[in-house]
């Protein structure tokens, strides 16, 4: 593919469908706005440069040594299983940080293309291009979320060493291959996020039945629904799934339930919930198009709450719903 005289993308940067989509989008934007097209061309060059930097790094599974200390796949996995999360990216190998930087660059790249094509208007072809770009953006954000989920599990003291080893192994695979996306290594998790990103919470009685039904309607993998509906599920798993359904922390849900009881309400609305909690209630469904940034913020809110409970000893789930699901999946390997 050639864009404005630039050489074709390397295969490791974008897959075939992404290449074709970007080519169509750039041509459509260039026909309407030379200025926007120039900005998009700059994003393309930035993505290629970041990918090139990443490709020059040593594969993480290749043995090496520094200062007389041998380093290999096993020593890296052992290191990852001992991180506590407080060092952030400083505790990660350079290639891991560059892989995350590349993914963030790709997300910014796709956001720019979504913004530019959205401004083209509602012609059928433009709408299709924007929709497909938004889907690619979501997949990249879900991939970033999966990485952060694995890192979160590595710092949890209640996760077994064997499970952490499997999470670390998966992270190394993802960091070593920038072409991998969420559907390549965790399609079940992608299904859950894809479906959740397409529904708004009705709140109502705060039981979650409507929200669960809508997940089914949006083609959430039945295994996800079955996992969170199985007999013998712990109280923390149930609470984490409620957080996932309502895009709230357990503490916020407890506040709403108390307020409903005090005000003798039989059902809650989004506007009422926003007033009680003192914050904007974010819709995950956005004008019939997904808003993956909203899902990312939802996960971060719930993960921060889970980490706080773990450190403070406060009651409530120590993991997100996705965390409980991922531990189950890793243990099945």
Helices (H), ranges, the chain: 16-32, 34-55, 73-80, 94-118, 124-154, 161-176, 182-185, 187-196, 209-217, 222-227, 235-246, 250-262, 270-277, 292-312, 321-331
- Domain ranges within the chain, ordered by starting residue: 186-333
Rg over alpha carbons for the chain, rounded to the nearest Å, is 22
d(CA 310, CA 305) in angstroms, rounded, equals: 9
Tokens of 292: 């993956």
Q: Cβ distance 162 to 324 under 8 Å?
A: no
Say how many C-beta atoms besides its own lie within 10 A of residue 186's C-beta.
Answer: 25
- What is the pLDDT at residue 291? 83
Start-to-end CA span in the chain (Å):
39
Q: Cβ distance 206 to 256 under 8 Å?
A: yes
β-strands 64-66, 289-290 pairing: unpaired
Tokens of 79: 């290191």
Give strand pairing partners of 3: 6
For every one of its 333 residues, what pLDDT tens digit does the chain have, with 9 covering 90 and above? 344 444 444 435 688 899 999 999 999 999 999 999 999 999 999 999 999 999 999 999 999 998 989 999 999 999 999 998 888 889 999 999 999 999 999 999 999 999 999 999 888 789 999 999 999 999 999 999 999 999 999 999 999 999 999 999 999 999 999 999 999 999 999 999 999 988 888 889 999 999 999 999 999 999 999 999 999 999 999 999 999 999 999 999 999 999 999 999 999 998 899 999 998 887 655 556 778 888 999 999 999 999 999 999 999 999 999 999 999 999 998
d(CA 191, CA 182) in angstroms, rounded, equals: 10
- pTM for the model stands at 0.91
- What is the pLDDT at residue 184? 93
Grouping H, G, I as helix, E, B as strand and the rest as coil, residue 129 is: helix
- What is the pLDDT at residue 283? 64
Q: Is the dihedral of CA 37, 39, 42, 44 positive or negative?
A: negative
Say which residues have a Cβ less than 8 Å from residue 109's Cβ, sequence separation at least 6.
43, 44, 46, 47
Grouping H, G, I as helix, E, B as strand and the rest as coil, residue 314 is: coil
Say which residues have a Cβ less than 8 Å from residue 210's Cβ, sequence separation at least 6.
202, 204
CA angle at residue 176 from 20 to 10, to 5 degrees? Answer: 30
Tokens of 313: 């000893």
């Amino acid at each position: 593919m050639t864009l404005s005289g630039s050489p074709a993308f390397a295969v490791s940067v974008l897959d075939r469908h992404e290449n074709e989509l970007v080519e169509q989008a750039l041509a459509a934007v260039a026909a309407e706005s030379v200025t926007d097209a120039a900005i998009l061309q700059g994003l393309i060059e930035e993505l290629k440069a970041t990918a090139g930097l990443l490709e020059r790094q040593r594969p993480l599974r290749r043995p090496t040594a520094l200062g007389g200390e041998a380093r290999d796949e096993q020593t890296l996995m052992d290191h990852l299983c001992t991180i506590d999360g407080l060092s952030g990216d400083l505790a990660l190998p350079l290639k891991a940080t560059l892989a995350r930087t590349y993914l963030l660059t790709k997300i910014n790249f796709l956001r720019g293309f979504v913004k530019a094509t959205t401004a083209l208007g509602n012609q059928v072809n433009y709408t299709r291009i924007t929709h497909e770009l938004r889907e690619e953006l979501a997949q990249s954000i879900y991939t970033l979320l999966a990485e952060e989920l694995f890192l979160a599990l590595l710092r949890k003291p209640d996760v077994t060493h064997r499970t952490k080893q499997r999470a670390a192994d998966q992270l190394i695979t993802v960091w070593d291959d920038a072409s991998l996306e969420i559907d390549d290594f965790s399609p079940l998790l992608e299904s859950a996020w894809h479906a959740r990103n397409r529904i708004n919470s009705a709140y109502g009685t705060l039981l979650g039945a409507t929200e669960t039904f809508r997940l089914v309607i949006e083609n959430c993998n039945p295994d996800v629904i079955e996992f969170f509906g199985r007999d013998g599920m712990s109280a923390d798993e149930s609470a984490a799934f409620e957080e996932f359904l309502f895009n709230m922390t357990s503490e916020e849900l407890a506040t709403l339930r108390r307020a409903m009881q005090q005000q003798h309400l039989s059902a809650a609305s989004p506007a009422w919930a926003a007033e009680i909690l003192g914050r904007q209630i974010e819709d995950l469904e956005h004008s019939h198009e997904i808003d993956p940034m909203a899902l990312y913020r939802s996960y971060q809110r719930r993960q921060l709450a889970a980490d706080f409970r773990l450190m403070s000893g406060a009651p409530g789930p120590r993991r997100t719903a996705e965390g409980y699901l991922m531990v189950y999946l890793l243990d099945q390997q």
